[in-house]
Amino acid sequence: MELAPDFVMRPLSNVEDDDEGGKGFSAAAVKEAKPAAGILGRLAGLEGKWSGTGFNVIWRPNHRPVEQDRFLQLNVTTETMEFQRIAGDIPNRGLLQPDINMAGLHYLQQITDKNLGAGLHFEPGIWAHVPVTSNPKEPVTLVRMATIPHGTSILAQGMSTTQDETVGPSIPKVSIKPFSIGSPKDTIDFEEQDLATKTKFRTPAAGLVGVTQAMVNDPNSVLRAAIAKQKITSTTRLQVTTARKPVVGGGSVNTAFLVGTADGPNAVAAKVTSTFWLEKIDGEKRASQLQYTQTVLLDFAGLSWPHISVATLRRVA
């Protein structure tokens, strides 16, 4: 997880910037150059180690199309997430505009089922702060780059805001209802969503300890409940998506198994959207709480199936 103590990103000189004789490319010149601090902006508050609990919902494809093509998995989770600064500037060379330098954090996320002790998610990645650009014309943005062992890599880009408040962040409702691909208003209700309905196509009782109908109806209700009695005085909001809107960058890629063939995919992670809230609680000097909600649309069997993960984490280091 930790970077080598002497590892520092150092942009090498362009040819036109070199001293006579190419001094800017020499090992001595690079070593002597003072490493830049790198501007993390609002990402700086993420640095450190976080731990807490959450809730995970995923509609899985079921290889029994004659009987049923879906299975609803519900998990109460425990989680750790650790962020470490990447020393120095991260250079991006420009053709249509001058070069830019980004700054970043690398991270590792691990999620486990609290009831069963099964590992659910392992994600190494990078968050980067991107300065204003002229071509394309974009304001300061954030980028999250992540890879998961199931066979999907994402690049999600977006923006951030910070505001002082006394009632905490505004966390919207979110639905797990599947819908026709490309038509989010065309939702479908399945019996697995109703915990009172018995079905073998949902997580068995041993894994449902702590799960309520309210959580299934709106996974973000777990986040709102966690802060209901807190006095949050400041919130930094980080929101990114692979949708290429409102920022032109972003996307997701999947393995051949997930993409499938002309017969259709096994399950493609088509779109990822996530919002992180860094929260400072009354009486604290810095943000000590991190909440997030993430929706991944898994496309299979002609529908988009929301895979939603939420968590409330506290700073532990």
Over residues 77-93, the pLDDT tens digits come to 999 999 999 999 999 99
Mean pLDDT for 235-262 is 95
Determine the pLDDT at residue 6: 83
Mean pLDDT for 11-25 is 56
Determine the pLDDT at residue 31: 58
The Cα angle at residue 31 between residues 25 and 36, in degrees rounded to 5: 100
- Residue 314 has a CB neighbour count (10 Å cut-off) of 13
Residue type, 275: T
User: Rounded to an integer, what distance in angstroms lies between the CA atom of residue 250 and that of residue 164?
Assistant: 30
Determine the pLDDT at residue 27: 63
In DSSP terms, 229 is beta-bridged to none
3-state secondary structure 16-30: HHCCCCCHHHCHHHH
Domains and CATH numbers, the chain: 1-35 (no CATH), 37-315 (2.40.128.20)
Query: According to DSSP H, which parts of the chain are helical?
Result: 27-32, 213-217, 221-226, 256-259
pTM, whole model, 2 decimals? 0.92
Q: Residue 35: pLDDT above 60? A: no
116: Cα separation from own chain's centroid? 24
Mean pLDDT for 202-230 is 97
Mean pLDDT for 234-238 is 96
Over residues 87-120, the pLDDT tens digits come to 999 999 999 999 999 999 999 999 999 999 999 9
